[in-house]
Amino acid sequence: MSWETVIGLEIHVQLATKSKIFSGAATAYGADANTQACAVDLGLPGVLPVINEEAIRSAVKFGLAIDAQIAPHSVFARKNYFYPDLPKGYQISQFELPIVSGGTVEIQLQDGIKKTINVTRAHLEEDAGKSVHEGFGNLTGIDLNRAGTPLIEIVSEPEMCSAEEAVAYMKKIHTLVRYLEISDGNMQEGSFRCDANVSIRASGETSLGTRAEIKNINSFRFVEQAINHEVERQIDILEEGGKVVQETRLYDPDKNETRSMRSKEEANDYRYFPDPDLLPVELSRDEIDAIRTQLPELPDARRSRFIKELALSEYDSESLTANKEIADYFESALSAAGGEAKLCSNWVMGELSAALNRENKEISESPVSANMLGQLVLRIKDNTISNNIAKQVFEAMWNGEGDADGIIEARGLKQLTDSGEIEKLVDDVISDNPEQVEQFRNSPEEKRGKLIGFFVGQVMKKSRGKANPQQVNQLLSEKLNG
């Protein structure tokens, strides 16, 4: 029997507003517990929520970016449940009339295959507080700093068929909210997390299987692992003749397993109703159009432009544009280098990315600025240094020794292009290695190409990597063959 997987994601994105969605308290991460929760966030009686307009604008930006409908009239609703980190006893969310409905997201899979995922809706809501289990013995601490932090919850249609697709979709949404600058997307800090709804069905079946919902996953790697693990679990149940029950499960990354939190029978009845403390959100055409003019160039458009105008490959363009800061950096470096898109792309995705990874740095923390990298590329372009020497220069720039020109000068790295000097090195190498020369000359034509490598290596070594490799090759082959 063969099975197919069906996945729908609910992604929670914390919005990067300075203050909370219904109060003036700060949203900054990492403050001492309960120092950023005001009377509204604590749910004290007699206080009233006031909507943060910036949160609305952020949700509208997202909706426009995925080509969704923006509701001219949307309504906040109370979602009632009891939990220690929710002092009001209800979460303010949106239910029947969300601010954003529909819209699509294009994902790119391996082998360049594209797929469009439909978004059902995206609604505004407030985040809850946090239960803290460490440092309280048998008790639980409650930190309400997070209570009231604005969120958009983005709900997809059940249209993804593998963990790979789910990860690609989640990454694409992450890229989008970062381009729009509506969220910092920081997954360790919980600014971007998702619930994965997973079901399986016999291949070819059209109706959906019973799903399990895996809660609160905060890394791309965990989404992939949790889904793969959950699919295995469901297949085992069905193949043993059992039934999957609809339930909420929790993923444990340490054990790589999911375990049940609550079943459908224990599910909450949220008793949604419109929040009488808040007015509906009314948005005119003009207001929506004004927000539209603030949208930046989006990743798909930027990728197409890189392919068309810079003649970069689909792969390079996708890699560069997946992260806005990297794309910005690349474009600044390119302009400093005065062209050479492919070379700049290679340096950004190659040496620079490797160095950032090695030291676990963000591109904004790079000791080599875009302008410095552009200057380096310029020196490769005008033949001052070879690509290999450039790696040395890059390391030196990374270590704070200055800019490319200064380092090339100070270390005497300028490429040797004087043919007289190169010829002298070539002659020395030939006279120092009579055996190899003998061997070369006794070899048939087709083997000589390979043997010449030895001599090139010797000349490069003698020149400390500075001789122009094309000139070295040319001279050697003239002299050895001649």
Residue (43 or 158) nearer to ligand ADP, CB: 158
| Contact set for ligand ADP, span 324-353 (CB under 6 A) | none
x-or-dash string of contact with ligand ADP, 179-198, rule CB under 6 A: ------------------xx
Q: Which stretch binds ligand ADP (CB under 6 A): 8-16, 32-40, 331-339, 416-424?
A: 8-16
Distances (CA, A) of 145 to 34, 42, 123, 140: 5, 10, 22, 16
N- to C-terminal Cα distance for the chain?
Answer: 70
Residue 4 sits in the site that holds ligand ADP (CB under 6 A):
no
| Contact set for ligand ADP, span 149-168 (CB under 6 A) | 155-158
Q: Compute the least distance from the CB of residue 221 to ligand ADP, in Å.
A: 21
Chain-centre distance of CA 386, in angstroms? 32
Instruction: Say if strands 76-80 and 273-274 run parallel, antiparallel, or are unpaired.
Output: antiparallel
Q: Compute the least distance from the CB of residue 356 to ligand ADP, in Å.
A: 34
- In terms of phi and psi (left: phi > 0; alpha: psi -120 to 50; beta: otherwise), the region of 112 is left
Identified binder of ligand ADP from the candidate list 3, 4, 10, 473, rule CB under 6 A: 10
Residue (11 or 422) nearer to ligand ADP, CB: 11
| Contact set for ligand ADP, span 197-216 (CB under 6 A) | 197-199, 208-209, 211
User: Could you give the CA distance from residue 350 to residue 463 in angstroms, rounded to a whole number?
Assistant: 26
Q: Compute the least distance from the CB of residue 209 to ligand ADP, in Å.
A: 6
Residue found under tokens 């900054």: 28
Residue (158 or 469) nearer to ligand ADP, CB: 158
Residue (156 or 366) nearer to ligand ADP, CB: 156
Contact 12, 191 (CB under 8 A): no
Q: Compute the least distance from the CB of residue 141 to ligand ADP, in Å.
A: 29
Q: What ranges in 348-468 are assigned the alpha helix state H? A: 353-358, 370-381, 387-398, 404-410, 419-432, 434-441, 445-462
User: Could you give the CA distance from residue 467 to residue 423 in angstroms, rounded to a whole number?
Assistant: 10
Q: Compute the least distance from the CB of residue 15 to ligand ADP, in Å.
A: 20
Q: Is the dihedral of CA 462, 465, 466, 469 positive or negative?
A: positive
Contact 246, 261 (CB under 8 A): no
Total chain residues near ligand ADP (CB under 6 A): 15
Residue (244 or 377) nearer to ligand ADP, CB: 244
Query: Residue 141 has which token pair?
Result: 């601490």
Count of helices and strands (H, E) across the chain: 17, 17
For 391, other C-beta atoms within 10 Å of its C-beta total 16
Q: Compute the least distance from the CB of residue 198 to ligand ADP, in Å.
A: 6
Q: By beta-carbon distance, which residue lies closest to ligand ADP?
A: 8
Q: Compute the least distance from the CB of residue 10 to ligand ADP, in Å.
A: 5
Residue (95 or 454) nearer to ligand ADP, CB: 95
User: Could you give the CA distance from residue 171 to residue 192 in angstroms, rounded to a whole number?
Assistant: 10
Q: Compute the least distance from the CB of residue 196 to ligand ADP, in Å.
A: 8
Question: Exposed e or buried b for every residue in 321-335, given b needs 16+ CB within 10 A?
Answer: bbbbebbebbbbbbe
Q: Compute the least distance from the CB of residue 241 to ligand ADP, in Å.
A: 20
Which residues face 263 on adjacent strands? 247
Residue (44 or 245) nearer to ligand ADP, CB: 245
Closest CA to 376 of 352, 405, 401: 405
Q: Compute the least distance from the CB of residue 7 to ligand ADP, in Å.
A: 6
Q: How many residues does the chain have?
A: 482
Identified binder of ligand ADP from the candidate list 6, 59, 99, 227, rule CB under 6 A: 6
Q: Which stretch binds ligand ADP (CB under 6 A): 3-11, 25-33, 95-103, 294-302?
A: 3-11
If DSSP codes are grouped into helix, strand and coil, which group holds residue 32? coil
User: Could you give the CA distance from residue 396 to residue 472 in angstroms, rounded to a whole number?
Assistant: 26
User: Could you give the CA distance from residue 368 to residue 348 in angstroms, rounded to a whole number?
Assistant: 11
x-or-dash string of contact with ligand ADP, 422-441, rule CB under 6 A: --------------------
Residue (14 or 197) nearer to ligand ADP, CB: 197
Residue 413 sits in the site that holds ligand ADP (CB under 6 A):
no
Q: Compute the least distance from the CB of residue 158 to ligand ADP, in Å.
A: 4
**Amino acid letter for position 36:** Q
Residue (186 or 260) nearer to ligand ADP, CB: 260
Residue 318 sits in the site that holds ligand ADP (CB under 6 A):
no
The residue ranges that bind ligand ADP (CB under 6 A) are 6-10, 155-158, 197-199, 208-209, 211
